[in-house]
Structure 1
C-alpha cells in the first residue's frame, strides 16, 4: 500500500495545551528569545530534539517494573550488557547516565592540550567535551555533504583522503578518530558501510583507535540496507554487526536509537582504556554495573535496543521524515536534501537570504516558527557552532540550519501536516523576519542558555 501506517497502536496519551500568538510573543520575550528556555507546556509541537523524547513501548514499561535495583551486579545490567555485546561485538560495556557522560569520560582520558580528534562532523556535546579537555575537534566532511540541495546517498561520509593526509602529518597528536552515524550536524545524513570500512582501514594504517558516535546507528543501518549495493537482503542486526566490527569502540546516547528517556554507554575493546574509563566512572557516575542509571533504566535500554532493530519500525521512521521533507519541497522551502534519518533541516541561509550569518538567520526562523504555530525547533548554525576571531567577529560554520527533530513514536501524520502548514506560512512571510544579536552567553555550549535581542 502507498500509505505507510505507524507499526504500533497508541495506548496512552498526553494532552497538548494550545497558546495564542500573543501569548507566545510574550513568552519568547521572557526567555530572551532562546527556545531552550521555554516551558514544555507552552510548546504545541516540540521538535527541539529527538533525544530522550521517545514514547516507550509496553514492553519497555514492563521492563521498568522488572528492573533490578541492586547496587552491584544487577540482573538488569547483565541483560543490558548482553544486548549491547550482541549488536556491537565490543568487549567492555560501561553504562553512563547519558551520551555526553560517555564523551566526558573518554576525552578526559585521551584528550588534553595538543591533542586533535578528527570526525566527519562533531556534534555539540562531543565538540564541547573535546575542547573542555584542552584538545581540538576538527571535521573532515566530504564535499557533497557541504552542498545542501545536492542529492547523494551518503552525504554524511568522512573525506577519507583528507583524513589520511592529516594523519600523515599529525599522527602523533591524534589519540583516536571518530565517525558520527548518522551525521547529525551535517543534516542527519547517513554514512555508508564502504566509508566506515575505509576510515577503519586508514586508522589501522596509522595505528589509531577508531570510535563510532553511534547515537543513531540503527537509522544509519537502514539507509545502508536501502541504498548501498549488497545489503538489501541483510537484516538490520547483521548490518549493525558489520558496522561495529570495523570499530574499536563507541559512545552512545541511548536517548536516541535505544528509545528511552535517559541513559547512555561507552563500549570498547581496549582493556587498559576500559579500566581507566571505569575508574573515572566510579568517581563521577557510579558503580560499573549501574553507571548513574537505575536498574529499570538499564532494562528499558536493553528492550529499546531490541525494538530499534525492527525493520518495519525503521521503514515507518525514515518515511515519516521523508514525508515532511517532500511537503516542504513542494512549497519551495529550501532544505538539506535528501532528508536524513531523524530530522528535517531547513537551509536557513537560503530561507532568509536577507539576514547575514552574524545576525543568526536560523535563530530568526526558529523564533518565527514558535511565534506562528507554537513549534519549537533548534538552530544549528552560527549560534551553536559559531566562533569569535581575534577581532571579536563571528566565524560561521559551513551551513546555517534549523533542525526539526522528530521524537520517536510520539507524533501522528496530522501533527506533521500541521508542522508543514506553519513552516510554509513562515516561509511565505520570510522577508519580514529580522536578525538577532546575542546579549548574554556562557563560554561553552552557548545555544542552551544564551539570551538574544531582535534587531
Structure 2
C-alpha cells in the first residue's frame, strides 16, 4: 500500500460549480440576512454547510435504485434494507423514516417526559427542538476535555461523563431521568468519537437504575473507525464487529442515514424493546407512511441498503478520516485555532480564538461564516451563540461553552484541491482578523434551539 494513498474511487460523473465575484457574494449575503442557510446553493463554490445528504453515491447504489420496489406494503426493497441494517446494528426491529429528524421525533415522542431530564453527551439541535416542544429538560454531560478546543491529547472527547450522570441520579432520582442519549460521533464539539469503554460504562449505570439508553448513530462507522484505531483491544476487529458491540449496549438507535448511510435521504429507528418498536410503528404510520416504507421510496431504501455496507469498508473510512485531518492540518499550519484532534466529518474553527475582539453576544462564529463565503464562496455553518444559545425562564440569554464554525466535508465529493481553497481563504482572513467586527441578531424563530436555520443578522 506504499503508493496507494489516493482516494479509493474514480470520478465517473461530474457536477459543475459556479465561480462568482466578491461583490456578488456580498450582495447575496445581505439579501439572505447574513444567514448561510438562506443562500442559493448554485451561488456556492464549495459547500460545507453540512455533511447530511450530500454524499456522492456509488455505481452499486445507483444500480440498486433501478431495482426499487414501490409497493405500498411489504416491498422487496424494505426487506433488503432490514437485512442490511440488522447486519450493521445487530438489532432485529427496523423502522425506516424519511430522514433522521423523523426518527428523532418518534424517539422523543416515546421517551421524553415533561419536566424530566434527557441526558446526553451533547444533544444536537433537532433533539433539543423536540425536547423543547415536549417539555423535557436536555442536559449535556460531555467530559470536561470535550469542551477544551485546544487540547489534542484525549482520543475520545465525545465521551459522556459518568460522574456527572451518577451525580444527577443521586440528586434528582433515577425516575426523573427519562432517557440517556449517546451521540456517535459527538457533533457539537467537532465530530469527536465516543469510546466503547464509555458506551459500556454508561449502559451499566443506566441498566442499574432502569433508565433506557438510546444511541444517535448518524456517524456510526466513523465512530467505529476511531474505536478501531484509538482504543486498545479493537485493532483486529472489523468495523461491523465494532458497530454490533456498540449497539449491544443500547435499547434503541436512531439514524440520519444521510450521513453514514451514504445516501441523499432517509432515516432509521431501531429498537430491541418490542413495546417501543410497536409504538414507533404507529407513529410512523401517522407521520411517515406504512411501516415497510416509512416515508422512503423503494429505490431510496435500495440505495441505503448498499450504503450501510459500503460505509463499513475500512479503506473508505481511512480515506474519509484522513481527508478531514488533511484540512485540519492545513489550517493548523496557518495558525488557525481549531478543535483538536480533528473528528470524523469536519473541521471546527474556534470562533472566539479566531476573533478574540468579538464578544460572544456579537456572534463571532457567524461572522466567520459570512467572511468565508464573502472571500471564497465557501459555505460553512455556525455552531455557537446562535445555534446553541438558549434563554432562562426570564428570557435572559445563556451562551454555550463552545463557539465554533463547522466546515463539514461531504463524503466522496470534494478533492483535496477544494480543501486547499478553504485553507487559503481562511488563512487570508486570519491575517486581517483584527479588522472584523461582530453581528447583531435581528430575527429569531419561536423555537430557540432551531433559530439558526431561519435567523436574520446585521453587520455591526
TM-score > 0.5, shorter chain as reference: yes
Q: Distance in 1 between matches of 2:251 and 2:391?
A: 35
Q: Distance in 1 between matches of 2:394 and 2:247?
A: 44
1:115 to partner: Cα distance = 2.1
Tell me the distance in 1 between the aligned counterparts of 2:279 and 2:18. 47
Residue 387 of structure 1 and its aligned partner are, at CA, apart by: 1.4
Aligned equivalent of 1:225: 228
Structure 2 match to 1:447: 452
The yes-or-no answer on 1:212 pairing with 2:210 is no
Counterpart-to-counterpart distance in 2, 1:206 and 1:91: 25
Q: 1:53 is matched with which residue? A: 54
Question: What is the CA distance between 1:170 and its match in structure 2?
Answer: 2.9
Question: Which of 189, 192, 196 pairs up with 2:192?
Answer: 189
Does the alignment pair 1:410 with 2:413?
A: yes
Q: Conserved in 1, the CA contact under 8 Å of 2:81 and 2:302? A: yes
In the TM superposition, what are the counterparts of 1:76-155 in structure 2 within 5 Å?
76-151=77-152, 152-155=154-157
2:169 to 149, 152, 167: 167
SS in 2 for 1:176: strand
What secondary structure sits across from 2:173 in the alignment? helix
Unaligned runs of 5+ in 2: none
- 2:364 corresponding residue in structure 1: 361
Query: Take 2:106 and 2:441, find their aligned partners in 1: how far apart are those partners?
Result: 31
The 2-side partners of 1:131 and 1:267 are apart by 23
SS of residue paired to 1:69 = coil
Q: CA deviation at 1:84?
A: 0.8
Preserved contact between residue 359 and residue 435 of structure 1 (Cα < 8 Å): yes
Please give the alpha-carbon distance, in whole angstroms, between the structure 2 residues aligned to 1:383 and 1:119. Answer: 20
The separation in 2 between residues aligned to 1:391 and 1:435, in whole angstroms, is 25
Q: Are 2:454 and 1:436 aligned?
A: no
Q: Distance in 2 between matches of 1:170 and 1:316?
A: 45
For residues 109-149 of structure 1, the C-alpha deviation after alignment (integer angstroms, 9 at most, x for no partner) is: 22232121100000111111122111111100101001001
Paired residue for 1:10? Answer: 11
Q: Does 1:388 align with 2:395?
A: no
Which residue matches 2:422? 419
**Preserved CA contact (<8 Å) 1:4 1:319:** no
The structural deviation recorded for 1:389 is 3.6
CA distance in 2, matches of 1:433, 1:170: 48
Aligned-partner Cα distance in 2 for 1:391–1:135 = 18
1:391 deviates by 5.7
**Partner SS, residue 66 of structure 2:** helix
Q: Separation in 1 of the partners of 2:92 and 2:394?
A: 48
Q: Distance in 2 between matches of 1:260 and 1:170?
A: 41
Structure 1 131/170 Cα, relative in aligned 2: closer, same or farther at 3 Å? farther
The correspondence for 1:265, drawn from 268, 286, 289, is: 268
2:329 paired residue among 326, 330, 333: 326
8 Å Cα contact 1:365-1:433 kept in structure 2:
no
1:63 matched to 2:64? The reply is yes
- Number of aligned residue pairs: 455
Q: What is the deviation of 1:2?
A: 7.2
User: 1:189 and 1:292 mapped to 2: Cα distance?
Assistant: 30
Q: 266, 277, 289: which one pairs with 1:274? A: 277
Aligned partners of 1:378 and 1:402 also within 8 Å: yes
C-alpha RMSD of matched pairs (Å): 1.1
The TM-score normalised by the length of structure 1 is: 0.98
1:393, 1:114 → 2: CA distance? 20
Secondary structure at 1:344 match in 2: strand
CA–CA separation in structure 2 for the residues paired with 1:183 and 1:269: 23
Aligned match of 1:309: 312
SS in 1 for 2:139: strand
1:81–1:93 Cα contact (<8 Å) kept? yes
State the 1:390 CA deviation.
5.3
- Per-residue CA shift, 1:382-415, capped at 9, x if unaligned? 1001113456442111110000000000000111
Distance (Å, rounded) in 2 between the aligned partners of 1:237 and 1:91 = 15
Q: Deviations over 1:234-253 (max 9, x none)?
A: 11111111111111110100
Question: In the aligned structure 1, how far is the partner of 2:105 from the partner of 2:395?
Answer: 29
Q: Aligned partners of 1:313 and 1:170: how far apart in 2? A: 44
Q: Which residue of 1 aligns with 2:299?
A: 296
Is residue 2:262 matched to residue 1:256?
A: no
Q: TM-score under structure 2 normalisation?
A: 0.97
| Cα distance, 1:438 vs structure 2 | 1.0
C-alpha separation between the residues in 1 aligned to 2:18 and 2:396? 41
- Which residue in the other structure is 2:160 paired with? 158
Most deviating of 429-438 and 28-37: 429-438
